[in-house]
Amino acid sequence: MSINNSLKITRLFEPRTVAVIGASSNPNKIGYTIVKNIVQGGYSGHVYPVNPKGGKILELPIYQTIDEIEGEIDVATIAIPAPFVFDVVKACAAKGVKYLSIITSGFSEVGNTEEEKQIVTYAREHGMGVLGPNIFGIYSAAVSLDATFGPGKIMAGNVAIITQSGALGIAMIGKTATEKIGLSAIVSVGNKADVDEADLLDYLTYHDGTKVILMYIEGIKQGEKFIKALKEATQKKPVVVIKSGRSKRGAVAAASHTGSLAGTDEIFDAIMRQCGVLRAESLDDAFSWAKFLADTPMPDGENTVIVTNGGGIGVMATDACEKYNVKLYDDLHTLKQIFSPVTPDFGSTKNPVDITGQAAPNDYNSALGAGLKNNEISSMIALYCETAVFDADSLSRMIKTNYANYQAGQKPIVFSILGGEAVENSITTLRKEGVPIFADVYEAVSCLGAAYKWRSYLQDYTEEVDTTAMDINAIEQIAQNALQDGRTFLLADEAQQLMAVAGLPMPQSHVAHSLDEAVRLAEKIGYPVVMKVVSRDILHKSDAGGVALDLDNKEEIIDAYQAIIQNCRAYNPQAVIQGIEVSEMVKSGTEVILGARKDGAFGPIVMFGLGGIYVEVMKDVAFRAAPLNRSEIVSMIKEIKSYPLLLGVRGEARKDIESIIDTLVKLATLIRQSKSITDIEINPLMVYEQGDGTKAVDVRVLVSNVEKGNPNG
């Protein structure tokens, strides 16, 4: 049973009763802290401590076993050593517990995978969901439940945190306290043996008390399920993600370009963007964004105006706006109309609006007030460099007043102020009061950038999925034939057949097994032709000298045939050469690479990039998860650095981008619908001028009987 139904997950976040198994009257034990946090947190349900020794803890009677408790138990928090957990899980099943929150360490994270599996299988078979093991527990403001062994006294609020690291999670509780960030929930998922981030999103997405979701992730187990849950969540509220582990080690062993180019982190990053997630690099950014997005109205337009009392800091903010894609309003005429009444003659009404170093609190109030009133302006950045015109009190008052005005006016504003001790103290005090104020201009602008990023995602979002009809049974048959032949890749003629079925015709091509046959085939196809070695032992044909292009007559065929055989023998003397492929010479165009594969973590993904022989050097590629629609494909195509080549440079015509999109839709359909194809890669795909289409020149297809792409591990 998979715990993916929001009605059921509600019981984890809003239990009516909680049992703590391993409740101890020893204040140094985790089992004591959990009971203490539940009691001191003011849990609205009933808590039942359980310990074979009996007695009392914090005035509560201790039950010797869970079955002694009368009535239903929604959540059992387990904090006893690993060897005793399974027996307790069985007792919980007999009691009809709905969720287990297994704090205990000592399972898959230390190699004890088998016992973890047994526990989860047993729990599922008995209708119980399992959070953890190896977690610090769950806090849920909806029922004032702090069933964690964290520091306690969690401030209730509207940010929910899901964390894979327990230790970091406990540290985050501390940080939310110092930053005065109120939490609607914090859940540690630990080993994610059953309940994972996607299950928790099922609740948090629709939980009205949660305005922003922040996640700390180390690895993804069920990518497709996670992507679906994320796409649903970001429709409702901003989701901020921090992911550690940018290692590319996992990709090294991959067998195709799509694999080796797909550093795990690049794919993760691309998919987060595709899902509208705001990915933060640091905890500081993540917390700043979460707090800002939870407390501030979203901008209803694109135009931002900077108001500053200093030129330098204004330029820094302008740079930051460029970095975080915050659009500065640039209608000089309107800016002059709005701001000249509130700017001295020696200031500037261009954006940044410079109200000069002599600006007093009232000047800020006037300038920020003018921006608030104007419908063209959707957000403001207020900057201040310490001057003698302000004292600390008037500075704080000015900022608080304008923040309140902007809140009331449903427009976002961020402040960045620079100066000495008094300014620093103001920042500390104002932040505690919830004002989005920062010493660092970039940090301030990044918050606004996060809001705009989410807004623009929502504006572009469409639920549609684009697919193409194709005879998937015929494709499976081709793949199965190769597998039955003991191969995990398709030979050239099989790949061509598959491409024809998928609606991606390739150049005419046949395999010659002798020189005479090569000449005959070339004359049948018509000059010019290309010849390529066919060998299961030579994957990179160009590197082996196994390719000859633009052959115009019989003599050139004879020379090239002999050269290919010689080169390949020298490159790999053990290689078995099955023949030489003779193909129609494709006219040159812009070379791109297209791929699709079943990724172990993320499920089906597609890749697009600059193609040809430099693909691995340039690594100018972009990724998306399938299923996807044409607008997601367009944004993937635009992401590569070489995109201008497709638009045409130095007077060249625009290339047929529509045809690239069609091909990617076909690859995405193929990789999702075929059970046996794990990787397919077209390199190069020749792209011609708009209207002239594309041509797949070479294709590589890998197949497998082991279903990939949606594993549990």
Q: What's the closest the beta carbon of residue 49 comes to ligand ACO, in angstroms?
A: 9
For residue 607, give the nearest of 554, 563, 660 by alpha carbon: 660
- Tokens in use for 546? 């196994």
Min dist. Cβ of residue 620 to ligand ACO (A): 40
Residue 81 touches ligand ACO, criterion: CB under 6 A: yes
- Near ligand ACO by CB under 6 A: residue from 12, 18, 19, 30: 30
Which of 15, 22, 595, 600 lies at the binding interface for ligand ACO (CB under 6 A)?
Answer: 22
Q: What single DSSP character describes residue 62?
A: P
Token duo for residue 680: 């397919």
Cα separation, 621 vs 641, whole angstroms: 8
Burial tier of 81 (Cβ tally within 10 Å: 0-12, 13-18, 19+) = exposed
Which of 135, 204, 321, 395 contacts ligand ACO by CB under 6 A? 135
Q: How far is the CB of 128 from ligand ACO (least distance, A)?
A: 17
Residue 595 within binding range of ligand ACO, rule CB under 6 A: no
333 binds ligand ACO per the rule CB under 6 A: no
Could you please report the per-residue DSSP string of 356-370? -TT--HHHHHHHHHH
Q: Which residue among 3, 19, 21, 142 contacts ligand ACO (CB under 6 A)?
A: 21
Q: Residue 553 carries which DSSP code?
A: S
Give the CA distances from residue 583 to residues 156, 165, 262, 535, in Å, rounded to whole numbers and listed in that order: 69, 55, 30, 16
* Cis amide bond preceding 627, omega within 30: yes
3-state secondary structure of 373: helix
Q: Which stretch binds ligand ACO (CB under 6 A): 132-140, 172-180, 193-201, 645-653?
A: 132-140
3 vs 123: CA distance, rounded Å: 11
489: amino acid identity, one letter: F
**CB 162, min distance to ligand ACO, A:** 14
Range 463-469 contact pairs with CB under 8 angstroms and sequence separation of 24 or more:
464/629, 465/627, 465/628, 465/629, 466/628, 466/629, 466/630, 466/633, 466/665, 466/668, 467/627, 467/665, 467/668, 467/669, 467/672, 468/503, 468/662, 468/665, 468/666, 468/669
CB of 483 to ligand ACO, least distance (A): 43
Among 167, 332, 613, 647, binds ligand ACO (CB under 6 A): 167
Give the shortest CB-108-to-ligand ACO separation in angstroms.
Answer: 13
* Candidate segments 50-58, 240-248, 487-495, 509-517, binder of ligand ACO by CB under 6 A: 50-58
The answer to whether residue 520 forms part of the interface with ligand ACO (CB under 6 A) is: no
Among the residue ranges 44-52, 156-164, 403-411, 679-687, the one whose residues contact ligand ACO (CB under 6 A): 44-52
| CB-closest chain residue to ligand ACO | 166
> Looking at 25-33, 335-343, 367-375, 630-638, which segment touches ligand ACO (CB under 6 A)?
25-33
Q: How many Cα atoms within 13 Å fall on the side-chain side of residue 663?
A: 31
Torsion sign across C-alpha atoms 542, 543, 546, 550: positive
C-beta separation of 152 from 146 below 8 A: yes
Of 112-120, 129-137, 334-342, 683-691, the segment contacting ligand ACO by CB under 6 A is: 129-137
Q: Which of 35, 103, 119, 661 binds ligand ACO (CB under 6 A)?
A: 103
Among 17, 37, 51, 296, binds ligand ACO (CB under 6 A): 51
Q: 241 and 273 in contact (C-beta within 8 Å)?
A: no
Check binding of 594 to ligand ACO (CB under 6 A). no
Q: Does 79 bind ligand ACO (CB under 6 A)?
A: yes
Scanning 4-12, 24-32, 360-368, 648-656 for contacts with ligand ACO by CB under 6 A, the matching segment is: 24-32
The size of the interface with ligand ACO (CB under 6 A), counted in residues, is: 26
Which residue, 122 or 461, has its beta carbon nearer to ligand ACO?
Answer: 122
- By the rule CB under 6 A, 166 interacts with ligand ACO: yes
| 52 counts as binding ligand ACO under rule CB under 6 A | yes
Candidates 17, 24, 296, 678: give the one binding ligand ACO (CB under 6 A): 24
- CB-based contact 328:338 (threshold 8 Å): no
Residues near ligand ACO (CB under 6 A) are: 21-22, 24, 26, 29-31, 50-53, 79-81, 84, 88, 103-106, 134-136, 166-167, 170
